[in-house]
Structure formats: structure tokens, C-alpha cells
Structure 1
Amino acid sequence: MKKRIIVILLLLLLLILSPRVYWSLKEPISLEIAVIDYTVPTKDYREHNGLFQVLTSKKIVREDGELYDVGKDYYGFDPYDKVQTEPFEHHQVDMIYITDTYGVYSDDLEEKPDGERSELLFGGMDLLDWNGLMQSKDDQTTLIAEFNSFASPTSEEVSKIMQQTLGLTWSGWIGRYFPDLANDEIPQWLIDNYEQQAQQEWSFEGPGMAYVHTTDQVIILNEDEIKGSVNFTLTEQGKHKFSSVHSSEYMYWFDIVEPLGGTEVLASYKVELEDIGADKLRAAGIPTQFPAVLFRENDLTYYFAGDYADFDKQPIVTWESIHHVYKFFAKDVSSFYWLSYFPMMEDILNEAINRKRGVLHAE
């Protein structure tokens, strides 16, 4: 009986450890990836942390054979020395991933930031940086950009150039679902703008939606005006392209964009509202369903209309396709990461790997 128990325990241990053993024995995959993140005020590197977890899981390495280091292998702002990192110098790469260019402000470096708008220390995509990135992109290079890549403090001129390259136009609106409109997640600048605009104090409680325009116009939907959070769902084109991606609730910042001709919409957001909430958005010209992931096949560009790589949690263990385990336990903000973003990035990285190996080119 004891022998049987020991055998069962050993088999269970082997089952648990086998993915890690497989990952350790797996041959590393070399991809040259330029990660652009101008918004790194603290040492958690959260704006690109989610991407690096996918890279580690797939054992994607730099050209020198080392795993990508979340604290070193990006271009942007150094939270230790509080200065700009070495700027990107154009050279041929397999992938360019722009996670955020919002930048770092003086308030961000305070021990207890109050969320007020403050002096810009570093941030915004300038034309020289953008041209350098585009000189590094050929027809085999995948370009990915996320929410806040072409918004303020990037100039309007550069923003329009970036939008044209990505195959979209931005409405000027951003939004977010909040589980509680009374918690500390609400930026102080958002509260200040609302109070100035509405001429009344911020007294919201419970779940709600916030929409903000580049003109500082603010629209708040309270819990009586919404039915839930924001649903992320693949389109028919997206289902064909991303076989392992699941629908999920998206609970972070997004922007409202429209595709240009030749741009495919691979996933959409849908906001479930009560009639009174839908009427409020309609009056402002804000849609309740709009693109989440856009793709230009001829140019190999993706745009994620959200903060997808922004993820502040760390997995307990490392192995390939770890999302197949975590997706069963994911909830709240983690749900989107493990059910939608992680498998989508795996598929996009697989495309880049096959393209580098000549597989896609041969087809």
C-alpha cells in the first residue's frame, strides 16, 4: 500500500514538474525585439511587465542568448537613476512593441503621488524617435502599439503620422470601467475635471464608467446606468487568426478608435448599459461597441486599444503556455491577461518566429 502511495505521489510530482522540466530543456528562440516604454516611474515596470512574462514563458531570448530582462531590455525611462535610458538607435529588428509613451511626471516620483497633473520629466513620441523606429522596420518586422502610444504628450503632428501608419483614427476619447468610483484608483485629475465641469463634488460610489476627451470633457456613468464592465470579444476574422484566445472582461483604460481602409478589426469591446447610460453616450457621440484589436496585414501592424501589457502580478512558476493553468483561477483584471492577452501574444510571436525562419515567407 505504501509503495502504491509513493508511486502515485511521484507521478503527481512528475506531472506538476514536467512543464517546468520541458521549459528548461526547450531550445531558446532568438527574436530581436525593441520594447518602447516611456512610462516607468517605479521599479515594478508594470507597463511592459505582462509582455516580458510571455517572452519568458516562450523562452524567447535576445541575440546573445539571454532571456529578456524586464528591468533592462526596453527604451524609455530609468526609475533608478530617474533619467532617460540609452535612446533607441535604429537597427533591423524582428518586432517593435510600443507599450506606452505617456511619460513620467514629477508627481510620479513622489513617495505618495497625489494623482495631480504635474511637470513632464520625460515622455511623448517625437518625430525623430518615430522615424528611427520606422527605419528599423522592414516588411518582415511586426509593429505593435498600445493605448497611450500616440496620445498626449505626443504632438498632434506625430500622433496623426502614427495613426496613419497603424491604420486608424482616434476619436479623442478614452475610458475605463471602475469597480468602485469611490476608491483610490480614480485619478485626482479626473475628479478635478469632473468637479470643475459639473460644478459639484465627486460623490460617486459603486461600479461605474469614466470617459475623458482630449478637451478634458468628462462623462461619468454610475452603477444605475451600466449593466456590467467592458466585454472583450474576437470578431470572425479574429477567431480565424487567434484560435486560443477567449472572450473576457476588460477592466482597464481603453481608447475609442476607428479603422481606416485596409485595417481589419480582430476584436471588439462592448459596453453593456442601461438605456439612460446609452442615451448619455449617444448624446456625446460615443459608441457602445468599438475596436479593441486592429491589424494591417500588408504592413504587419497591430494596435491594441488598451493597456494590455500593463500587468503587475508575477506567476509563481515559469513554463510554456502557463496561461492554460492560470486562466482557470483568473479573476478581475487578471482575467483579461490570462484568457485574452497572453494567448494572443503567443500567436503573434509564433508568427514572428515563423516569419524569421522563412516558414511564412515560403508559403
Structure 2
Amino acid sequence: MMKEELKLVLLKLRPVLFFLIGLPLFSYGIWTVLPGKALDILIIDKTVPNKSYREHAGLFWTLNHLKYKKSSGDTYQIDQDYLGFFPSGQQDFGSVKDLRSHSPEEVRSLTKKSDLIFLADSYGVYEGDFSNNQEIQLTKKIYGGLDNSDIQLIKMAKEEGKVMVAEYNSMASPTPKPIRTEFENLMGIKWTGWIARYFDDLDTLNNASIPKWMIRQYQKQHGSWDLRGPGLIYIKESGQIEGFLHTLDYQNKLPLVRTQKINKHGFNLPEVIPYPDWFDVVMIERDYEVISYYDIAPTSAGLQRLRSMGLPRFFPAAVVRKAGNGSQYYFAGDFSDIQGDFGSPYFYGLPTLWRGLYVASDHADRQSFFWNYYHPLLSQVLTKAGKEKTN
């Protein structure tokens, strides 16, 4: 009798057991038999204050999920396969491994061996990153900013016809202005000096995540922080700070990243997706193709304010152009900065599952943006880089 009851229970639980055990095993099995792809990628991330590797974690998850490997056959290791700052968790903070110790000949050799160069972040690491005092506005730089060796690499990548990808904070502070100018000339990108970020509520009584230095800076220039409700804060390199309020200055509650359904380079991305984090406002040379752009839908008053700040109606979000035999991409947003666990990359179809669970319109969870926009964008850039490598 007990055996019969157990059989009935197991029969009823069969769909649940399949979902919990059978489906993951099936997914893992498919992933293991899929062939790997060789792509040599040189990754630079100077903003690694801890072992979360936030600024390049999404890239490495995508590389491992899509089974990209080095030409040696080795897989990409998130804590090893990049140049920049390596945190130790000790009193010495960490160590640096970058191109400054390389001769021009060594940089040229490294460039020739690489199919893709990815500049994830150059902001750097500061003593305040290792302090619990969030009131500190600016602390001593430990390491960061572009230098001449990085410029040399970008120049050689262009000459050698490689694919170059640079993200938000690649050229801003603390990169010296002469170095930035060289970067802008090589990449065909001109930073306006402005960065911006969306906040769900600008009321400091309701939102403790607004940085204290930002509040103080605004009060210093405008007398008081009289901002309430959803809004955007624009900050210029010179220190100028402006607040844009939803409905008064712009109509889209938060910036939308728009992608034309049919675009020249064939990128398959959501036509509209909200973006709630930092972005920089850049101008691009005419030979760039806009993959996606930011749209805040400014009111007439907001449009006048943008013009007075020297800013356009629309801002590029992701752009690409041919550069000799290679390509250059720029992502004008902190797209790669994702908190939280992505889960194991070793399961086929996992991004599709996450896209179904994370609704594209849900901006509260940054992983929604990763699964719906950034992971598909990265995947397609890697595919195109692989094709360019074979040509």
C-alpha cells in the first residue's frame, strides 16, 4: 500500500522534478557539447577595488557562457585575464599589472595577437573605496586614468585593423586632458564634459542613496536642494551641476535607450528599454553609425536648458564605425556595472530564461538591463569580432 502511494506521489511530482532536476541537466548537457570559439581578447579594467569585478563581470559571464576561449584553448578567468588593478584585500590594497612596463615592440606584439581590445573602465581605485566613510567626496588616487601606453595600444589597434570597444568612464577623470584629447582623436568621440544619472526620488528624506557630495555641490551653486520626485542630475567636469525634474523638464520618467528595429549593422536589440544609471554625453564623428541612443523627451523648457548647457536633444548610447580593417565601438553608459550573482554560465538557454523573468520595463533591478540589452549587445559584438577576424 505504501509503495503504491509513493508511486502516485512521484507521478504527481514528475513535472516538478523534471523542472528542478531534468531541465537543468538537459540544459547543461547541451552547453557541454556545443563547440568553443577562439577569440583573443585584451581587457583593461582599472576600476577593481574589490573581488566582485563589477566593471567586467558581465563581459566574462558572456564569454564563458558563449564558450569563447583564447587561441591557447584556455577559458577566460575573471580574476586573471585583464590588465589593470588587482585587489589583494590586504593593507597594501592590491597590485597593478598594465602596459606601462611594456616596450612599444611588446605592445605591438600584444596588439597583433589580440582580435578584440576591450576598455571596460579607467576611473581607477581610490583610498575611499576601502573606507566605510561615505561622506568623503574625493580621496587620494591609488591607481587610475589612461596613460601613454594605453593610447599607444589604441593607436596600434587601429593600425592593425583590430576591433576596439570602449565604455563609459574610459576617458573622463582622472585621465589627463592631453591624453583624453588623443583618445578622442583616435576614437572619433568628443566628450561634452557632462555625465548624468537618474534617481527614482530626489527627495533626500526619502532617498538615502543620493551621494552627500552631490547634495553639497548642488546647494553651493543653487542655494538649496529643492528637488523632489523622479529626476536626472547632470554634472559637468567643471563642477557645474543641474537637476532635471520629471514632467517639468522632461517627459520620459527615466532615460530610454532606443534602437531602430532595422539598423545598418543588423543589431537585434529591444526597440525601447529604460536605463537608470550613469551615462556620459558624447559627440561622435559623422562616420559613426548609431546602434542605440538616449531619449529623455525634454519639454520645451527642458530643451532650452539642454541647449544652454551645450547639449543636444538626443545622446548616443552605443555607436560603431569602421576603422581601417577593424571596427571601433563606444558605449556611453555604465552598462557593465552590474551587482548581484549572474548564476552559472554553463547552461544553454539561460539568458533567454532570464529575459523572460526580468521584464525589460523593470528598471529597479539592474540585471534586467543586463539580460535584455547589454548581454545581447555584447554577444553580437563578439560574433561580429569573430567574423572580422576571419576576413
TM-score normalized by structure 1? 0.89
User: What is the CA distance between 1:114 and its match in structure 2?
Assistant: 2.8
User: What is the CA distance between 1:154 and its match in structure 2?
Assistant: 0.8
Check whether the contact 2:157–2:164 (CA below 8 A) recurs between aligned residues: no
Give secondary structure in 2 for the equivalent of 1:85: strand
- Find 2:97's aligned residue among 71, 86, 105: 86
Listed as ranges, the matches of 1:90-239 within 5 Å are 90=107, 91=110, 92-135=113-156, 139-181=160-202, 182=204, 183-200=207-224, 202-225=225-248, 226-227=250-251, 228-235=253-260, 238=263
> How far apart, in 1, do the equivalents of 2:388 and 2:349 lie?
21
Is 1:349 aligned to residue 386 of structure 2? no
Which runs of 5 or more structure 2 residues have no equivalent in the other structure?
Answer: 1-6
User: What is the CA distance between 1:283 and its match in structure 2?
Assistant: 2.9
Check whether the contact 1:176–1:209 (CA below 8 A) recurs between aligned residues: yes
> What is the aligned-residue RMSD (CA, Å)?
2.4
> How far apart, in 1, do the equivalents of 2:349 and 2:148 lie?
37
Give secondary structure in 2 for the equivalent of 1:121: strand
Of 347-356 and 238-247, more deviation after overlay is shown by 238-247
User: What is the CA distance between 1:285 and its match in structure 2?
Assistant: 2.7
- Find 2:54's aligned residue among 46, 49, 57: 46
- Find 1:289's aligned residue among 311, 314, 320: 314
- Matching residue's letter, 1:189: W
Which runs of 5 or more structure 1 residues have no equivalent in the other structure?
Answer: none
- Matching residue's letter, 1:188: K
Inter-CA distance 274–300: structure 2 relative to 1 (3 Å threshold): same
- Matching residue's letter, 1:111: N
Q: Partner of 1:263 in structure 2?
A: 288
User: What is the CA distance between 1:289 and its match in structure 2?
Assistant: 1.2
Inter-CA distance 8–301: structure 2 relative to 1 (3 Å threshold): same
Inter-CA distance 29–112: structure 2 relative to 1 (3 Å threshold): farther
> How far apart, in 1, do the equivalents of 2:265 and 2:288 lie?
16
TM-score normalized by structure 2? 0.83
User: What is the CA distance between 1:237 and its match in structure 2?
Assistant: 6.2
> How far apart, in 2, do the equivalents of 1:244 and 1:308 lie?
14
Q: Partner of 2:357 in structure 1?
A: 329
- Matching residue's letter, 1:175: A
Inter-CA distance 244–236: structure 2 relative to 1 (3 Å threshold): closer
Runs of 4+ residues over 4 Å off in structure 1: 1-13, 136-140
- Matching residue's letter, 1:347: Q
> How far apart, in 2, do the equivalents of 1:85 and 1:342 lie?
28
Give secondary structure in 2 for the equivalent of 1:221: strand
Check whether the contact 2:135–2:213 (CA below 8 A) recurs between aligned residues: no
> How far apart, in 1, do the equivalents of 2:230 and 2:25 lie?
41
The structure number with the bigger radius of gyration is 2
Inter-CA distance 263–224: structure 2 relative to 1 (3 Å threshold): closer
> How far apart, in 2, do the equivalents of 1:239 and 1:229 lie?
27
Q: Identity of aligned pairs, percent?
A: 30
User: What is the CA distance between 1:240 and its match in structure 2?
Assistant: 4.6
Give secondary structure in 1 for the equivalent of 2:296: strand
